[in-house]
Structure 1
Amino acid sequence: MTQKQTQNFAFALTVMFVVSFLLGFITTMNNSMINFCKAAFNLDAAQGQLVNTAFYGAYILSIPLALLMNKLGYKKTLVLGIGIIGLGFILNFFSIGQFAGTAAIYYVFLGCMFVVAIGIVFLQLVTNPYVKALGPQDSAPSRMTLNQTLNSLATTLAPMFVSILIVSNNNEAPTAEAIKTPFLGLGLFTLLLGLILMFLKLPSIKEEEQPTDSGEVKQYHKSIFKYPHIFLGALGIFFYMGVEIGIPSFLPQRMEGLGLTSAILIPEFISDFFTFLGMNMTEATSILVLYWFGMLVGRAFGSFILGKFDSKKVLVAAASLSVLCVALSLVVDGPLTIWLLILTGLFHSIMWPCIFNLGLEELGPHTKAASGIINTGVIGAAVLMPLMGVIEDGVGLKAVFACLFIYYIYIMWFTWKGSQIRIKH
């Protein structure tokens, strides 16, 4: 690799890190608004989870959007995705004013967030294979985890954004009007970012020309269906979304059921600091900052750990520790229950890049299309969250958290067995 190539890759990685920050911020902001939406739109648990369904349901389009990315290339796909995100936020700004006070307003809100999510899918399709391709194969898990670290920084800030600018600024009963100004700001910022990126140069990556470690050009199957680990990886992401999004989606309800608030759980000096920033510490949603902060810490250290240890062993260890935390949370009461669930964020932190990387191994020219297939697995949050909401309404919250064991077991099986399945030439 020449010095010029290295410099180009460093610049391109920096751009991808900025995009990952935006991606993480918007995704977690959406999830953090569930409790607010339930109050503002008078929803039950299952209806509240439609926020996740509308957003993550857009990932069903991952495959056709990946095929479009094959034609457009990385940069045009990146700019298009950012433009669609900006359009979705601005549509929400005008639509909420137009439909205020009507029965349709919640579904109009969901529709606009679906538009935002289509743009997010484009960004997801670009960032993962591009970051994977921008450097040596053996350092891909570490590089992707570093990318996810910036994503996690955004996910830590997003609940604060919701609490300060939407929840705390809404002094009376929660209404949809509270999201108009923040959403307009996000829309304008995103469109400006897309305009800037239009004039930036990014390197062109041709996966089919990447050599193996021995320096030889690898031969690949003509059909992507000859690589079953892609589809098993997509199912791995499907179940991973059940744990990453499932815990913060139902954690506030668990707190409320135990009669706890964020102010009770968080040390006083930290609670005072959050209050100074404008966060409402009587809202259970505020505690989600700590869950996403755990993801941030885990990914920051995970980048180093994955550079030193086998990613499969790290992933299985993380899943096992998560199982232990969830199991203990079901048999204890009080604040410890919540802290155990928050702790899972630390262990979830390295799962996405490891699962994704295992699903993209040894694919060459099929990498872009495979990224679309694996990204389809994100619909797990759209499918599993409402199902878990129905379970909460019908059985209770402990049954919801017990569902997580199924998801963890599949992730561990894919890591050791499913990711190794190949069809020989």
Structure 2
Amino acid sequence: MPIVNTETITTSESVTANRSYLIPFILVTSLFFLWGLANIMNSALIAHFQPVFEISRAQALLVETAFYLGYFTIAIPAGLFMEKYSYKKGILFGLLLYAGGALLFIPAAKLMTFGFFLVALYVIASGLAFLETAANPYVTILGKRETAVQRLNLSQSFNGAALVFGPWIAGHFIFSGNEGAMDTLAAKQQAADAVILPYVMLAGIVLFAALLFFITKMPEPSKTSTLRFDKSIFKERHLMFAVIAQLFYVGGQVGIWGITINYVTELIPETSKEVASKYYMLAGTLLFVSGRFLGTFFMTYIKDHKLLTIYAAITSSLCVVGIFAHGEIAVYALLATNFFMSIMFPTIFGLGVRNLGESTKLGSSLIIMSIVGGAILPPLMGVFADTIGIQQSLIIPALSFLVVLFYGANGYKLNHAK
């Protein structure tokens, strides 16, 4: 297992014992659950907003663009904020932004304005940029260096666990009773209002998490790593390829999640959006969760970069099946990609920041910024879906996962001088 970070944790008391990391690790891992919930809910919003605002698939996928632009624009400011203050304050600020964005769904729904929803999603994602910029590297230093990638996959498994709840919440609160004809303003208003309750509930959970962080003493990394701009970081081969691989991975994954409900209802016409969300989308997310946990276990026996290579090859192949197959076979192939996508983000991240030393924070921020792939590729998939067919739009993730395959096979390697 590669070394991910050279930082250590220091507090006024000794935190060298593994038990000293337990409560901070649990709290930080809870953040993975919270941003997983926000991510998966976007899939429901995309399918829901199309009839409410009478927009195309490409326009509806602007949900992902607004969301992932938040990551891209805020990742570096978030790192600088935590550099000046602390990880804990950065996490608290991120949680408040998250809750604030979720509460903006109330006026957005009442005003029936698609653009307002995009602003709310941007605010949510800005908060998540703080959380991810803090949590991903934080987990790698809360324990032994040799098991950092494995530990990050474990935390990301709880991110996957959140994906189980999202489709059920969407099916129960958003789609249920709101799939009939929306030929009146009252019907559209009812459908728009359906998003309020789940997002207000989400805001409440996030604020409770903020309270727990506020009252808990969190260890802080020692100042061995600073977020400073140094052009020499661009010479770090494995980091630069990680940024590229993460951009294509996130774009491919978000695109697949964004079209899943529409894909299912189109290839299995008798399926409603509520059923597609509650059962098919849920099946996909369960595969994603199990893939995370099993992937973490497999890394005990298979090197992380090799497992990444194998999974990327299988995922790309499943996308090809999704392009050419029909009916349930195509749907099952699409859902199966979730299992093999599961380990990609944390593995690319862990491999990308290893051996960066004082440049770890900058490297982490660059990888988080590459999440902008989720803003770029899904709308392109939407254009493909609107023009040549929803199945053919899978050519984009099929190619994206070939980039991930290259990273696992070769791109992860350190400079020869290292």
Which range, TM-score by smaller chain? 0.7 to 0.9
Q: 1:130 to 1:207 in 2, by over 3 A?
A: farther
Give, in whole Å, the separation in 2 of the partners of 1:119 and 1:352: 19
Give, in whole Å, the separation in 1 of the partners of 2:315 and 2:158: 22
Give, in whole Å, the separation in 1 of the partners of 2:61 and 2:249: 17
Aligned positions, number: 393
Alpha-carbon contact 1:233-1:355 (below 8 Å) kept:
yes
Structure 1 equivalent of residue 70 of structure 2: 58
> 1:101-132 CA distances to partner (integer Å, 9 max, x unpaired)?
xxxx0001111111111001111111110011
Alpha-carbon contact 2:137-2:364 (below 8 Å) kept:
yes
- Which residues in structure 2 correspond to 1:183-198 (within 5 Å)? 183-198=199-214
- TM-score (norm: length of structure 1): 0.87
Give, in whole Å, the separation in 1 of the partners of 2:279 and 2:122: 25
Query: 3-state DSSP class of the match of 2:224?
Result: helix
Give, in whole Å, the separation in 2 of the partners of 1:237 and 1:141: 15
- Which residues in structure 2 correspond to 1:185-264 (within 5 Å)? 185-206=201-222, 208=224, 223-262=232-271
Structure 2 equivalent of residue 19 of structure 1: 31
Structure 1 equivalent of residue 338 of structure 2: 345
Q: 1:354 to 1:373 in 2, by over 3 A?
A: same
Q: 2:413 aligns with which of 387, 400, 420?
A: 420
Alpha-carbon contact 1:19-1:123 (below 8 Å) kept:
yes
Segments of 5+ residues of structure 2 without an aligned counterpart are 1-7, 9-13, 183-187
Structure 2 equivalent of residue 268 of structure 1: none
- TM-score (norm: length of structure 2): 0.88
Query: Does residue 289 in structure 1 map to residue 297 in structure 2?
Result: no
Structure 2 equivalent of residue 215 of structure 1: none
Alpha-carbon contact 1:255-1:284 (below 8 Å) kept:
no
Letter in 1 for 2:214: M
> 1:321-354 CA distances to partner (integer Å, 9 max, x unpaired)?
1122222233321211101111111111111111
Alpha-carbon contact 1:83-1:194 (below 8 Å) kept:
yes
Q: Which runs of 4+ in 1 moved over 6 A?
A: none
Give the deviation of 1:252 after TM superposition: 2.5
Give, in whole Å, the separation in 2 of the partners of 1:254 and 1:90: 30
Structure 2 equivalent of residue 124 of structure 1: 132
Structure 1 equivalent of residue 45 of structure 2: 33
Q: 1:262 to 1:71 in 2, by over 3 A?
A: farther
Give, in whole Å, the separation in 2 of the partners of 1:370 and 1:325: 31
Give, in whole Å, the separation in 1 of the partners of 2:416 and 2:307: 26
Give the deviation of 1:23 after TM superposition: 1.1
> 1:112-159 CA distances to partner (integer Å, 9 max, x unpaired)?
111111001111111110011111222112111111111101012111
Letter in 1 for 2:94: G
Identity %: 27
Structure 2 equivalent of residue 385 of structure 1: 378
Q: 1:201 to 1:411 in 2, by over 3 A?
A: same
Give, in whole Å, the separation in 2 of the partners of 1:407 and 1:74: 32
Structure 1 equivalent of residue 161 of structure 2: 153
Alpha-carbon contact 2:309-2:407 (below 8 Å) kept:
no
Structure 2 equivalent of residue 5 of structure 1: 17
Structure 2 equivalent of residue 44 of structure 1: 56
Query: Does residue 135 in structure 1 map to residue 168 in structure 2?
Result: no
Give the deviation of 1:253 after TM superposition: 2.5
Deviates more, 1:168-177 or 1:110-119: 168-177
Alpha-carbon contact 2:31-2:131 (below 8 Å) kept:
yes
Segments of 5+ residues of structure 1 without an aligned counterpart are 210-220, 264-278
Give the deviation of 1:170 after TM superposition: 3.8
